[in-house]
């Protein structure tokens, strides 16, 4: 279980690293600096920290060296470092230079509060598919079973045993032996992620997060006053991501890692079996608890073999796993689960029960019925999503060829690079006025990273997706020339 290649090489380095002046100058690009030079340099470094290309806890080069590499004066670099320190993006440690950090209020948006329903608006602010007919059948079945439960008090603090057993059996079938005592029923995968982060993190703890990242995880971490350590992840990052997480965790003495192993939202990135093993072993060695959000695990779209849950690669307790019916079936069911060791389950259940008592029995009965037909629903869902993904990619290629679109192997969204100079927040604002609701790219970043990116879910039927592309073409021409200082909408 926990055998496999140990990670070796540069990650063996203990303690924080520096970045060389030449490397930093290359990342910033001397020719992008403009007057006032010190402010431009500070914002360049800040941007690199925001999007994870420059890690948190990295020592910046000596002022003189960076000045020489960039061809600017030392005073400029000194003023830029000063500005970063003032704004909380860097910290000076006596005698040992200036280190990158994220400010306590680094602009992570406080809450994911989507707009209300509006007639006529095509809403792609959520990546969540419409429900299949099996949902109504499952609720009909639940109602026929309900009378058997009416004699009891109706509270199920851990969740209905029949449901926990089905969830445990599914993990066992996927290569991770699980008993019902290791399962807590939660309000969606979101409830499970939130419960797991609360169980693991104390104020001030460092949490390594993939970047871009599902924003609710950031919101919870922020509420817990955890310090974020973003590590860049995209479709091509592969084992490089595992290496970077290992290093980031070591350099920051992180307490936990939040990761979406399968078809991450928004990028669609997936960890191979080998990368899963290396990641879990590395975290286990460093005593970092992994919160694995497996909400999208069923959504392989290219006939790939399904991969084992992350927790199968580590000792009990290393990985807390979250899952739900939201993406494979329908988010309206609101049933998810946390898989962890029984002591964590008991503690978490106690906290959840204080918060909201327990979940609806009818929803849990319906979830049992849905789990019984899950394979059929998932097979159909994959066919739909694949057709919708391909139609959206083709329409973007035809009508917005200057957009950078990479086809993900699964999941539910495209993570698109916008053409130079186009701001995602401006585009989203303009699209909203035309009747298309989307989330801004920066919603998926710590700080204000990713204003040059846009998430496009392919969860809607093809005609809606084609309409969305038409509206995006209109929005792109309408917003040409508007500046990103326009107020942002943060919908997801
Ligand atoms: C990675 C990830 N985790 C969790 C969720 C929330 O899932 P649920 O509706 O089950 O709470 C989402 C929804 O978009 C998601 O993308």
Which of 187, 190, 296 maximizes ligand 1 atoms within 8 Å of its Cβ, making it the mutation to test the pocket? 190
Q: Which residue, judged by its Cα, is nearest atom 2 of ligand 1?
A: 295
CA of 336 to the centre of ligand 1 (A): 9
pLDDT at position 490 is 36
Domain limits, CATH 3.40.640.10, in the chain: 135-371
Phi/psi at 94 (nearest 5 deg)? Answer: -50, 125
CA of 141 to the centre of ligand 1 (A): 26
pLDDT at position 50 is 66
> Tokens 């059996």 map to which residue?
169
What confidence tens digit (pLDDT) does each residue in 425-449 have? 889 888 988 999 999 898 898 866 8
**Secondary structure of 360-387 in the HEC alphabet?**
CHHHHHHHHHHHHCHHHHHHHHHHHHHH
CA of 369 to the centre of ligand 1 (A): 21
Distance (Å, whole) CA 176 – CA 187: 23
For the four alpha carbons of 333, 339, 344 and 346, in that order, the dihedral sign comes to positive
What confidence tens digit (pLDDT) does each residue in 164-190 have? 999 999 999 999 999 999 999 999 999
Which of 324, 359, 413 maximizes ligand 1 atoms within 8 Å of its Cβ, making it the mutation to test the pocket? 324
Q: What is the dihedral of CA 112, 117, 118, 119, to 10 degrees?
A: 150
Phi/psi at 88 (nearest 5 deg)? Answer: 85, 5
Q: Which helix (H) or strand (E) holds 261?
A: none
For the four alpha carbons of 445, 448, 451 and 456, in that order, the dihedral sign comes to positive
Are 219 and 110 in contact by the 8 Å Cβ rule? The answer is yes
CA of 363 to the centre of ligand 1 (A): 18
What CATH class does 135-371 carry? alpha beta
Instruction: Kindly give the number of the ligand 1 atom that is closest to the alpha carbon of 324.
Output: 10
**Nearest alpha carbon to residue 189 among 298, 283, 111:** 298
CA of 33 to the centre of ligand 1 (A): 39
CA of 189 to the centre of ligand 1 (A): 5
Instruction: Kindly give the number of the ligand 1 atom that is closest to the alpha carbon of 128.
Output: 14
Distance (Å, whole) CA 270 – CA 220: 23
Distance (Å, whole) CA 176 – CA 319: 12
Q: List alpha helices for 400-461, DSSP H.
A: 424-434
**Secondary structure of 276-331 in the HEC alphabet?**
HHHHHHHHHHCCCEEEEECCCCCCECCCCCCCCCHHHHCCCCCEEEEEECCCCCCH
Instruction: Kindly give the number of the ligand 1 atom that is closest to the alpha carbon of 191.
Output: 11
The two three-digit tokens of residue 453, written as one number: 């990116």
Angstrom CA distances, 124 to 413, 479, 484, stand at 10, 19, 21
Q: Which residue, judged by its Cα, is nearest atom 3 of ligand 1?
A: 295
pLDDT at position 52 is 62
Distance (Å, whole) CA 195 – CA 344: 10
CA of 100 to the centre of ligand 1 (A): 31
pLDDT at position 19 is 84
What CATH class does 9-100 carry? mainly alpha
Instruction: Kindly give the number of the ligand 1 atom that is closest to the alpha carbon of 264.
Output: 1
CA of 267 to the centre of ligand 1 (A): 14
CA of 79 to the centre of ligand 1 (A): 42
Distance (Å, whole) CA 277 – CA 264: 18
CA of 260 to the centre of ligand 1 (A): 10
CA of 190 to the centre of ligand 1 (A): 5
Phi/psi at 422 (nearest 5 deg)? Answer: -90, 125
DSSP state of 37: H
Domain limits, CATH 1.10.10.10, in the chain: 9-100
Q: How many residues does the chain have?
A: 492
CA of 443 to the centre of ligand 1 (A): 14
Are 364 and 156 in contact by the 8 Å Cβ rule? The answer is yes
Which of 189, 211, 324 maximizes ligand 1 atoms within 8 Å of its Cβ, making it the mutation to test the pocket? 189
The gap between the terminal CA atoms of the chain, to the nearest Å, is 37
CA of 128 to the centre of ligand 1 (A): 9
Distance (Å, whole) CA 272 – CA 18: 30
Distance (Å, whole) CA 382 – CA 169: 22
Who lines ligand 1 at CB under 6 A?
Answer: 127, 188-190, 214, 260, 265, 293, 295, 324, 326, 331, 336
Which of 191, 258, 321, 327 maximizes ligand 1 atoms within 8 Å of its Cβ, making it the mutation to test the pocket? 327
Residues of the chain below pLDDT 50: 1-16, 106-113, 483-492
Look at residue 100 and give its three-state secondary structure. strand
Angstrom CA distances, 228 to 37, 111, 136, stand at 29, 16, 41
Instruction: Kindly give the number of the ligand 1 atom that is closest to the alpha carbon of 323.
Output: 10
Give bridge partners of residue 208 from the DSSP assignment. Answer: 229, 257
The two three-digit tokens of residue 395, written as one number: 């329409």
Q: How many CB atoms lie within 10 A of CB 321?
A: 28
pLDDT at position 238 is 82
Distance (Å, whole) CA 190 – CA 70: 45
DSSP state of 410: B
CA of 160 to the centre of ligand 1 (A): 22
The two three-digit tokens of residue 283, written as one number: 């975290």
Angstrom CA distances, 10 to 15, 144, 246, 282, stand at 12, 60, 10, 13
Instruction: Kindly give the number of the ligand 1 atom that is closest to the alpha carbon of 187.
Output: 11
Which of 185, 211, 216, 264 maximizes ligand 1 atoms within 8 Å of its Cβ, making it the mutation to test the pocket? 216
What confidence tens digit (pLDDT) does each residue in 401-423 have? 999 999 999 999 999 999 998 88
pLDDT at position 23 is 86
Q: Does domain 122-132+376-479 have CATH number 3.90.1150.10?
A: yes
Which of 261, 265, 335 maximizes ligand 1 atoms within 8 Å of its Cβ, making it the mutation to test the pocket? 265
| Residue 286, CB-side half-sphere exposure with 13 Å CA sphere | 28
> Tokens 């969606």 map to which residue?
188
pLDDT at position 484 is 46
Phi/psi at 213 (nearest 5 deg)? Answer: -145, 150
Instruction: Kindly give the number of the ligand 1 atom that is closest to the alpha carbon of 192.
Output: 11
pLDDT at position 13 is 26
């Amino acid at each position: 279980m926990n055998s496999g290649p140990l990670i070796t090489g540069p990650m063996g380095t203990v303690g924080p690293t520096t970045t060389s002046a030449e490397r930093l100058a290359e990342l910033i690009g001397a020719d992008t600096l403009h007057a006032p030079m010190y402010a431009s340099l500070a914002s360049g470094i800040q941007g690199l920290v925001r999007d994870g290309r420059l890690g948190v806890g990295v020592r910046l080069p000596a002022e003189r060296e960076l000045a020489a590499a960039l061809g600017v004066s030392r005073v400029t670099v000194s003023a830029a470092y000063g500005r970063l320190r003032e704004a909380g993006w860097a910290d000076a440690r006596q005698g040992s230079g200036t280190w990158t950090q994220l400010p306590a209020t680094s602009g992570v948006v406080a809450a994911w509060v989507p707009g209300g329903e509006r007639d006529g608006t095509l809403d792609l602010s959520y990546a969540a598919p419409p429900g299949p007919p099996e949902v109504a059948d499952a609720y009909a079945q639940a109602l026929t079973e309900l009378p058997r439960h009416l004699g009891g008090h109706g509270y199920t603090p851990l969740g209905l045993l029949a449901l926990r057993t089905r969830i445990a059996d599914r993990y066992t079938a996927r290569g991770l032996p699980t008993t019902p005592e290791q399962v807590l029923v939660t309000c969606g995968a979101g409830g499970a992620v939130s419960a797991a982060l609360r169980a693991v993190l104390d104020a001030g703890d460092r949490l390594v997060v993939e970047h871009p990242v599902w924003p609710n995880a950031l919101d919870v971490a922020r509420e817990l006053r955890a310090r974020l350590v973003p590590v860049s992840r995209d479709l091509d990052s592969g084992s490089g991501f595992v290496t970077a997480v290992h290093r980031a965790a070591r350099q920051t003495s992180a307490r936990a890692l939040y990761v979406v192993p399968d078809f991450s939202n928004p990028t669609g990135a997936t960890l191979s079996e080998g990368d899963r093993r290396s990641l879990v072993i590395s975290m286990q060695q460093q005593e970092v608890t992994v919160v694995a959000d497996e909400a999208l695990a069923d959504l392989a779209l290219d006939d790939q073999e399904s991969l084992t849950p992350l927790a199968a690669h580590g000792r009990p307790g290393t990985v807390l796993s979250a899952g739900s019916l939201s993406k494979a079936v329908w988010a309206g069911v609101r049933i998810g689960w946390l898989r962890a060791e029984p002591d964590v389950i008991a503690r978490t259940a106690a906290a959840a029960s204080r918060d909201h008592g327990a979940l609806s029995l009818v929803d849990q009965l319906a979830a049992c019925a849905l789990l019984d037909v899950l394979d059929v629903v998932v097979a159909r869902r994959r066919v739909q999503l694949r057709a919708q993904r391909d139609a959206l990619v083709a329409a973007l290629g035809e009508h917005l060829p200057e957009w950078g679109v990479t086809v993900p192997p699964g999941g539910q969204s495209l993570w698109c690079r916008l053409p130079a100079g186009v701001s995602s927040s401006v585009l989203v604002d303009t699209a909203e006025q035309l009747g298309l609701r989307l989330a801004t790219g920066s919603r998926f970043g710590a700080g204000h990273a990713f204003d040059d990116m846009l998430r496009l879910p392919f969860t809607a039927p093809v005609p809606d997706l084609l309409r969305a592309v038409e509206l995006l073409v209109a929005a792109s021409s309408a917003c040409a020339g508007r500046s990103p200082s326009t107020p942002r909408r943060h919908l997801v």
